[in-house]
Structure 1
Amino acid sequence: MCGQLKLPYIVYYSQFIESLQIICSLVCLEPVDYNEYVCNNSTFKTLQRSNKNLKHTLHLCELLHLYTYNLWLGLSLALLSSILIGGSVILKKKALLRLARNGHTRAGDGGHGYLKDWLWWGGLLTMGAGEACNFAAYMFAPATLVTPLGALSVLISAVLSSYLLGEVLNVVGKLGCFLSVLGSILLVIHAPQEQEVTSLQDMTNKLLEPGFLVYMSVVLVLCAILVLYFSPRFGRTNILIYISICSLLGAFTVSSVKGLAIAINMFNDISVLASPLTWILLFTLIVSIVTQVNYLNKSLDTFNTLLVYPIYYVLFTSVVLSTSIILFQEWRSMAVVDVVTTLGAFLVIVVGVAMLHLFKELQVEEISEDKYGLMDNMVIESLPPMREEGPRVFIIS
């Protein structure tokens, strides 16, 4: 299709090169031999003699095909990752529940009996496959696009837990889940694109920038406080403790993944293996993932899956996007409308999390209908239950 464009008629515009890239990115559906087209066109020959970079610029159109292919490949891997991770949560939860019924020490109490359960290992391997797909997705697509697609994992986990675990999410919780996903989708649409980092040296320079070092130091201090003080005291009663630890560690996980993805792309270069950054990133990735798995197990063993996974997704996504924006400084190129919409999306996500957390124990149950159909009697119950002694009093507010 691109070969049918009347390109000689637009070469006189000063911005022809930029226009060509845009046109080719929009209408070219398959690779085109631009070198042959240039050689057979006298107008292009004349222009090439006056512009030494024309041939290289035309080749950028072919690179746009490759970029589009990589983008769709990255998004496909991210979708597959969401499916696998959403299913793995259910497998691991079933294993933990079965161990609890058999009298084993619960993971929330420090037990590690799940390490001997084949179903838990099946869930772990499934999650590993999902994380591998997610890792590969970061190699082809920006983190600002890959990470928010975890919203599909929330839906998959919620549906499967309803059918396989018998867990119930009330209307308010469903609305909170919907708002969380909606906010994440808005975040995807208006999220900035990350700057291109093509070498370990570029990655090193960005990791050593003062702003990013301060940010990571704050994250590390918060993790230490949560692990050493809040987790032993409030971990089993506050759903945000364990999940916050997992989410904050996402800053280290994603930074390591992006750096290792660059190292893998440059694997033929022997200097990659000799670079200390490669091994530092690998060590950081292993430690952060192991710690995340440990606290995620505690969270799944202690709280409802329908609450754990959406909250974990929202907090993790927020941390990862914040890390990506600070690391790659994408906010500098954002338009005002994108900034406002991004902040609004974060607000929607926060409201969704609040609804999931604050109203998780609220249950609305319809018990009877008025004889004349004028009103429905609704019993609103919340934990702790109302005392049984004395008459019940129904308050409508």
Structure 2
Amino acid sequence: MATHSWRDTYKGMSSDNIKGLVLALSSSFFIGASFIVKKKGLKKAGASGVRAGVGGYSYLYEPLWWVGMITMIVGEIANFAAYAFAPAILVTPLGALSIIISAALAHIILRERLHLFGILGCVLCVVGSTTIVLHAPQEREIESVKEVWDLAMDPAFLFYAALVMTTVFILIFHFIPQYGQTHIMVYIGVCSLVGSLSVMSVKALGIALKLTLSGMNQLVYPQTWIFTLVVITCVLTQMNYLNKALDTFNTAVVSPIYYVMFTSLTILASVIMFKDWDRQSPTQVVTEMCGFVTILSGTFLLHKTKDMADGLQTISRNSKHSEEDGFGDSDGIPLRRQDTLRTT
């Protein structure tokens, strides 16, 4: 009886969820690496031109930045495909793995030291991700992009979208000119809010393409192209402000804070639009939330210990009056604007 009950509770993941899981995992590897490559490109561009953090676009002429950009695009394509097969509650939290990749590569390439407790944070991210994977809801059966459009036109989601857009405009036109260079939450807030809408549109577009490839052409519906326009607009906005955040603040701080805000808002948007939790028991919902909190704890621990390590390294370098590694001018105070000799 006990074995039968266990099997009833854990019937296994559907084939679509497995495809989404594999795509999401590969996406995390590409995106995690792209953060580091883009950071290196931004540093090189900033040494010979106007930094992105103060409005410059010299990084567009830097090949290394483009390598990072292409790597991120590959990761985003895999992520895009994952949303077509699996619910956002499964796909989005797996982005925590990109933080682990980013932290490990930052330790090796950017010399941003990874503490022992940072490793513990990585472990917590893996545990939390595994918990969510094992209890993720099955993907909602959708037969037309019109059905997704009806979900988007639900009053609850329309209210959420209006609230997000209002907040984004306030951040861009009021807070960024005053606080963008000193408060990391301003840039990250824009990226995360816009990102929650882009994921919903990406999921809708992914479903439309999946249905089209299966023989049910969705490209004839105007809703498909509306979702495409929203995706393009949101992605360009995210890319612009994420570049500013990466160039202005420490990579080890940008990555986890962006992940936490982006994931939280995306899950909220998905619950409102696709009503994922309506197909789950209270136990499954609580377990997923515990997994998510575990991931949040891991990212917080990772970034706090990274902050401590960077501070110790900066003090050590200053006491020895050493500039041997060439990174002493930009990564010492991760939560504030990086000091630079460049005038604006």
TM-score by length of 2: 0.78
Superposed, 1:124-135 pairs within 5 Å as 124-135=69-80
Distance change (3 Å), C-alpha of 1:318 and 1:189: farther
State the partner residue of 2:320: none
Asked whether 1:157 is paired with 2:94, we answer no
Shift in CA distance, 136/300, structure 1 to aligned 2, threshold 3 Å:
same
- Cα displacement string for residues 247-284 of structure 1 (whole angstroms, at most 9, x for unaligned residues): 11122211111111222134377973342211111110
Cα distance in 2, alignment partners of residues 330 and 143 from structure 1: 9
Of the structure 1 ranges 326-335 and 129-138, higher mean CA displacement relative to structure 2 is found in: 326-335
Question: Match for residue 284 of structure 1?
Answer: 230
Partner of 2:26: 80
Q: 1:176 to 1:236 in 2, by over 3 A?
A: farther
Q: Which residue of 2 aligns with 1:299?
A: 245
Q: Which among 73, 85, 88 is matched to residue 143 of structure 1? A: 88
Q: Describe how 1:250-329 pairs up with structure 2 within 5 A.
A: 250-267=195-212, 272-329=218-275
The alpha carbon displacement at 1:207 in A equals 0.7
2:155 pairs with 1:207:
no
Give the letter aligned to residue 23 of structure 2: L
Cα distance change on mapping 1:346 and 1:241 into 2, 3 Å: farther
2:194 corresponds to which of 242, 249, 265: 249
Displacement after TM superposition at 1:117 (Å): 0.8
Shift of 1:107: 0.5
Q: Write the letter of the residue equivalent to 2:279.
A: S
Contact 1:263 1:272 in 2 (8 A): yes
Distance 1:383 1:272, change over 3 A: closer
1:361–1:208: structure 2 CA closer, same or farther, 3 Å change rule? same
Give, in angstroms, the shift of residue 73 of structure 1.
2.7
In structure 2, relative to structure 1, the CA distance for the partners of 1:96 and 1:315 (3 Å cut) is same
Distance 1:383 1:279 in 2: 44
**SS of 1:362 mapped into structure 2:** helix
1-side partners of 2:21 and 2:292: how far apart?
22
CA distance 1:182–1:318, shift in 2 (3 Å): farther
Tell me the alpha carbon deviations over residues 110-160 of structure 1, each in whole angstroms, 9 at most, x when there is no partner.
Answer: 000011111111111111111111111222222222222212211111111
Contact 1:99 1:106 in 2 (8 A): yes
Matched, 1:93 2:93: no
**Which of 110, 113, 116 pairs up with 1:168?**
113
How far did 1:292 drift? Answer: 0.5
Matched to 1:100, the amino acid is G
Structure 2 CA distance for partners of 1:358 and 1:157, relative to 1, 3 Å: closer
How much has 1:93 moved relative to structure 2?
A: 0.4
Aligned-partner Cα distance in 2 for 1:265–1:348: 33
Q: Distance in 1 between matches of 2:124 and 2:151?
A: 34
Paired residues of 2:171 and 2:190 also in contact (CA < 8 A): yes
Letter in 1 for 2:178: R
- The AA in structure 1 aligned to 2:197 is F
- Determine the C-alpha separation between the residues in 2 that align with 1:361 and 1:262: 40
Equivalent position amino acid for 2:35 in 1 = V
Alignment of 1:10-29 (within 5 A): none
Deviation at 1:239, TM superposition (A): 1.9
Residue 175 of structure 1 and its aligned partner are, at CA, apart by 5.0
Give the drift of 1:95. Answer: 0.5
Q: Structure 2 vs 1, CA of residues 123 and 296 (structure 1 numbering), >3 Å: closer, same or farther?
A: same
Q: Which has the higher contact order (CA 8 A, sep 6+)?
A: 2
| Aligned partner of 1:223 among 168, 173, 176 | 168
**Could you say if the C-alpha distance between residues 354 and 158 of structure 1 is closer, same or farther in structure 2, counting changes exceeding 3 Å?**
closer
Q: Give the direction of change, closer, same or farther, for the CA distance of 1:171–1:235 in structure 2 (3 Å limit).
A: farther
In 1, Cα distance between equivalents of 2:46 and 2:312: 29
Question: In structure 2, what is the equivalent of residue 394 of structure 1?
Answer: none
Give the drift of 1:162. 0.8
The 8 Å contact of residues 27 and 76 in structure 2, kept in 1 or not, is answered as: yes
Moved more, 150-159 or 356-365: 356-365
Q: Aligned partners of 2:304 and 2:175: how far apart in 1? A: 19
In the alignment, the residues of structure 2 paired with residue 217 and residue 232 of structure 1 have an alpha-carbon distance, to the nearest angstrom, of 23
Q: Is the 8 A contact 1:246 1:292 kept in 2?
A: yes
Please tell me whether the aligned partners of residues 17 and 138 of structure 2 are also in contact (alpha carbons under 8 angstroms). Answer: no
Q: 2:285 aligns with which of 339, 343, 355?
A: 339
Can you list the C-alpha shifts for 1:338-362, whole angstroms capped at 9, x where unaligned?
3333444444455555556677643
Question: Residue 144 of structure 1 contacts residue 193 of structure 1 at CA under 8 Å; is this kept in 2?
Answer: no
Aligned counterpart, 1:38: none
Unaligned runs of 5+ in 1: 1-21, 27-63, 367-381, 385-397
Question: Where does 1:36-47 land on structure 2 (aligned, <5 Å)?
Answer: none
